Structure 1
Amino acid sequence: MHTDFDRCVRAVRSRDARFDGWFFTAVLTTRIYCRPSCPAVPPKDRNMSFYPSAAAAQQAGFRACKRCRPDASPGSPQWNERADLVARAMRLIGDGTVDREGVPGLAARLGYSTRQIERQLRAELGAGPLALARAQRAQTARLLIETSDLPMADAAFAAGFSSIRAFNETVREVFALTPTELRARAAHGRAPAAPGVLTLRLPFRAPLCPDNLFGHLAATAVPGVEEWRDGAYRRTLRLPYGQGTVALAPRPDHIACRLALTDQRDLAGAISRCRGLLDLDADPEAVDELLGADERLAPLVAEAPGRRVPRTVDPAEFAVRAVLGQQVSTAAARTLAARLVTAHGQPVRDPLGGTLTHLFPSAEELSGLDPAALAMPAGRRATVVRLVRALATGELDLGVGSDRAEARARLAALPGMGPWTTGIIAMRALGDPDAFVPTDLGVRRAATARGLPSTPGALTRHATAWRPWRSYAVQYLWSADDHAVNHMPAH
């Protein structure tokens, strides 16, 4: 979009927040870059230039606006919508892969050469993987400086910088302030946080309907791993460097996030996973405009616009839980998952004062699972074992950088993995915005009630008009049912 000068200018002049994260406005006279919705008086057209990423603007010598804080804008919805190499690379960079494994590690995960990845990222985003990772490190550094009392040296290394000098230079270059000055500015009016707890605001594009989003997470919460407490969804996190606990609560213009991490280097990855869990980088207006054009879906869209797809922080965990939930009630699925957690999960301490006790067991920890210990039919027990084996050996990759089409094919090839389970995993674990489950009972019931085709084949044909947002259509259809997953719990 950044190449459409006139469209970008219109977005800037109208301060249209829908385009935050889609492109960045660089002001040639002041040498700063902003988000489109910046409240400052827009510059003259001839003094504006547009970049597809914050990294590209930084590489061109622009610093971040202190007023609109463009580094804190929602991410581009493209990286969740698309399934190509650039989108997969951006999801991995967001998860911290370059900081942990370098560009060669990123290339190995994607199955391409470093040169190919460098070329494609530069062509589309105006910056290579190192520059994109550096921009993320700058954002993480600002969060640590402003929301924690970590010594600056600790903040530097936690943000992914290899030296204090690189940390100081990057912060000054991007924000036109020293780290000490950034902390001093943020300290005014900031409530003191509990020791070791980071308090953040996660932005999103409005509208956002929290009902099904938090309702689903709360209704399916596995005891010990997840809970709803004091108006927030809370859960434990398995992260590359350690463990974490997060509390997420909806607010009118942001998601309030409280994070406790055993290793601060996991901050960027933890934020990325929480944003993915709540689908915060979605483009709700684009989704609702298309789905609302169907007269049978339109009333559901109009009633509660901005529904998101509740996703996951751990794709492998969700895949196991999806199989446990085959053909049983929500309560039964929670019970089965809780037994796995108690038997195989790693114990953790809850620093935020709740009842969280375990991490959900990894595929490796479940690889020695005794099928006889699972209180379910023999066929489903065998499916769990096969799934766990495929995840543990790497035969099946459901991670943020995985190839969605290949992952779906491998899932479907596992005995016991029918279309419903594969579709649900694609929707919530792989983040596919166009996954569809026409055999789902709730979907068929809602379709029939609204005069839509009720047979899976006919409904699938009708739903071609909902592409590429069929995952969201499922959320709207599910919302027609008076089920706990559609209602955010009372405080």
Structure 2
Amino acid sequence: MYTDTERCVRAVQSKDARFDGWFFTAVLTTRIYCRPSCPAVPPKVENMTFYPSAAACQQAGFRACKRCRPDTSPGSPEWNARADSVARAMRLIRDGVVDREGVPGLAARLGYSARQIERQLLAELGAGPLALARAQRAQTARLLIETTGLPMAEVAFAAGFSSIRTFNDSVRTVFALAPGELRSRATRSAKPPVTPGVIALRLPYRAPLNPSNLFGHLAATAVPGVEEWRDGAYRRTLSLRHGHGIVALTPHPDHIACRLSLTDPRDLTLAISRCRWLLDLDADPVAVDEQLSADPLLAPLVRKEPGRRVPRTVDGAEFAVRAVLGQQVSTAAARTHAARLVTAHGLPVDDPEGGLTHLFPDPEELAGLDPERLALPRSRRTTLTTLVGALADGSLRLGTDTDWEQARAELTALPGFGPWTVEVIAMRALGDPDAFLPTDLGIRRAAEELGLPATPAALTARAAAWRPWRAYAVQYLWTVDDHPINHLPT
């Protein structure tokens, strides 16, 4: 979009927050870059230039605006709506892969050479993987500086910088302030966290956001010990690279309040990425709702409660296991089966602020489970153990960077994986915005009540007009049935 100068200028002059994260405005006279909705007086048109990423602005010598803080904009919705190499690379960079494995590691995961990935990212984003990772490190450093009392040396290494000098130089370059100055400004303007060791921050999103189905779904399907709804917040444990964490997410009218307790601050970037992915916070609800509203039978549902997101997961392998446990049983029964698995195989954790007790076991921990101890039909035991084996040996990968169609083919080849299970994993674990569930009982009931075609084949044909947002259409169709997943817990 950043190449459409006229459209960008209109967005900046109207301070349209819908375009935050789509592009960035750099001001040639002040050498500052802003988000489109910056509250400052818009610069003259001849002084504006536009970039596709914060990293591209920084690489061109611009520093972040202190008023609108463009580095905290929602991410571009393109990276969640596409499955090409650039989108997959961006999701991996967001998860911190470049910091851990370097550009060669990023390229190897995508099946390209480092030079090819560099060229593709430069062409579309105006910055290569190192510059994009550097911009993310700077944002992580700012969060740690402003929300914790960690010494600056610990902040530097937790954010992924290789040296104190690089950390200091990057923070000064990006924010035009030294690290100590950033902390002093934050201390003057904000209260410190109530609980030591807790990182409190805001997760931005594009309005509108309807929390009912998002948090209602997560609360209704929560696995005891791993997830809970407490005091108006969805809380859960997280398995991270350097330890574990506990997160509490609370919906507010203009942001999601996020409280993170981490055993190692180096996991902050990954934890934030997982939380944003879980809540689908980088979506563009205006574009989604506009297309779905073109169908006269869906339009009333969209008008009634716009801004529905797709509730996802923090771990693809975890969700796949839970999807198998939930085959052909009620939500309550699926929770019971998962809770038994967690109690038997999950790693215990302490939760001073609530009732969380375990991490969800990873595939390696489940690989040795005795199928005879599972209170499941024999065929489903085979499905579960085969899935766990494929995840544990690496022959099946279900990450945010996974190729959607390849994963569908690999899942379909496993015993016991029908269209519903494959598509629900594609929707909630892989993040495919076009995943569709025409055989789902709730969808079929909604179709019948709304006057949509009742058979899966006919409904799929009718749903072609909803592409590429059929996963969001599923969220609206589910609201036709009065189910706990559609309501915030009381």
TM-score, length-normalised on structure 2? 0.99
Q: Write the letter of the residue equivalent to 1:422.
A: V
Q: Distance in 1 between matches of 2:145 and 2:303?
A: 41
Partner of 1:172: 172
Distance 1:404 1:423 in 2: 10
- Give the corresponding residue for 1:10: 10
Other-structure match for 2:35: 35
The letter for the 2-side match of 1:278 is L
Q: Distance in 1 between matches of 2:312 and 2:132?
A: 25
Q: How much has 1:358 moved relative to structure 2? A: 0.5
8 Å contact kept, 2:219–2:229: yes
Alpha-carbon separation, structure 2, partners of 1:115 and 1:339: 47
Residue of structure 2 equivalent to 1:346 = 347
Counterpart code for 1:323: V
Matching residue of 1:416:
416
Residue 299 of structure 1 pairs with residue 294 of structure 2: no
Alpha-carbon distance in structure 1 between the residues aligned to 2:344 and 2:154 = 36
Task: Report the equivalent of 1:51.
Answer: 51
Q: Which residue of 2 aligns with 1:159?
A: 159
Which residue of 1 is the match for residue 399 of structure 2?
Answer: 399
2:132 partner amino acid? L
Identity of aligned residues (%): 77
Q: Structure 1 residue 401: deviation in Å?
A: 1.2
Name the counterpart of 2:80.
Answer: 80
**How far did 1:17 drift?**
0.5
Return the offset for 1:192: 2.4
Q: Do structure 1's residue 100 and structure 2's residue 113 form an aligned pair?
A: no
Q: Which residue in 1 is equivalent to 2:239?
A: 238
Counterparts of residues 357-436 of structure 1 (less than 5 Å): 357-436=357-436
Equivalence for 2:254: 253
Aligned residue type for 2:464: T
Q: What does the per-residue CA deviation read over 1:192-248, in whole Å, with 9 as the maximum and x for residues that have no partner? A: 211110000000000000000000000000011000000000000001111100000
State the shift of 1:369 in Å: 1.0
Mapped partners of 2:45, 2:191: distance in 1? 40
Using the alignment, how far apart are the partners of 1:183 and 1:209 within structure 2?
A: 34
How many angstroms apart in 2 are the aligned matches of 1:65 and 1:350?
Answer: 38
Quick one: distance in 2 between partners of 1:373 and 1:292? 48
Counterpart code for 2:105: G
Structure 2: state its 5+ residue gaps: none
Amino acid at match of 2:209: L
SS of aligned partner of 2:66: coil
SS at match of 1:188: helix
Name the residue aligned to 1:440: 440
What displacement does 1:189 show? 3.7
C-alpha displacement of 1:111 = 1.1
Aligned residues: 489
SS of 1:200's equivalent? strand
**Partner Cα distance (1:265, 1:405) in 2:** 33
Q: What do residues 171-201 of structure 1 show as CA deviations (whole Å, max 9, x unaligned)?
A: 0000000000001111124222111100000
| Corresponding position of 1:270 | 271
1:320 and 2:321 matched: yes
Q: How does 1:453-468 map to 2 (within 5 A)?
A: 453-468=453-468
Aligned equivalents of 2:431, 2:351: Cα separation in 1: 28
Q: Aligned-pair distance for 1:451? A: 0.6
Q: SS of 1:191's equivalent?
A: coil
Deviation at residue 293 of structure 1 after TM alignment: 0.8
The 8 Å contact of residues 142 and 182 in structure 2, kept in 1 or not, is answered as yes
Correspondence 1:204-215 to 2 at 5 A: 204-215=205-216
Alignment-derived partner of residue 124 in structure 2: 124
Q: Secondary structure at the residue paired with 1:155? A: helix
Contact 2:147 2:192 survives alignment (8 Å): no
Aligned counterparts of 1:241 and 1:55: Cα–Cα separation in 2: 26
Query: Cα distance, 1:480 vs. partner?
Result: 1.1
> Aligned to 2:229, what secondary structure does the other structure show?
strand
C-alpha contact (below 8 Å) 2:216/2:489 kept by paired residues: yes
Give, in whole Å, the separation in 2 of the partners of 1:403 and 1:419: 17
Question: C-alpha separation between the residues in 2 aligned to 1:309 and 1:147?
Answer: 29
Deviation for aligned residue 1:107: 1.0
Deviations 1:422-457 (A, max 9, x none): 000000000000000100010010011001001000
Consecutive unaligned residues in structure 1, runs of 5 or more? none
CA distance, structure 2, for counterparts of residue 104 and residue 393 of structure 1: 22
Q: Aligned partners of 1:365 and 1:297: how far apart in 2? A: 44
Which residue of 2 is the match for residue 220 of structure 1? 221
Task: Name the residue aligned to 1:289.
Answer: 290
Q: Which runs of at least 4 in structure 1 moved beyond 3 Å after TM superposition? A: none
Q: State yes or no: 1:486 paired with 2:486.
A: yes
Structure 1 residue 77, shift from structure 2 partner: 0.2
Partner of 2:257, secondary structure, is strand
Aligned position for 2:310 = 309
Could you give the per-residue CA deviations for residues 255-284 of structure 1, whole angstroms, max 9, x where no partner exists?
A: 000000011011011000000000000000
Give the match's secondary structure for 2:37. Answer: coil
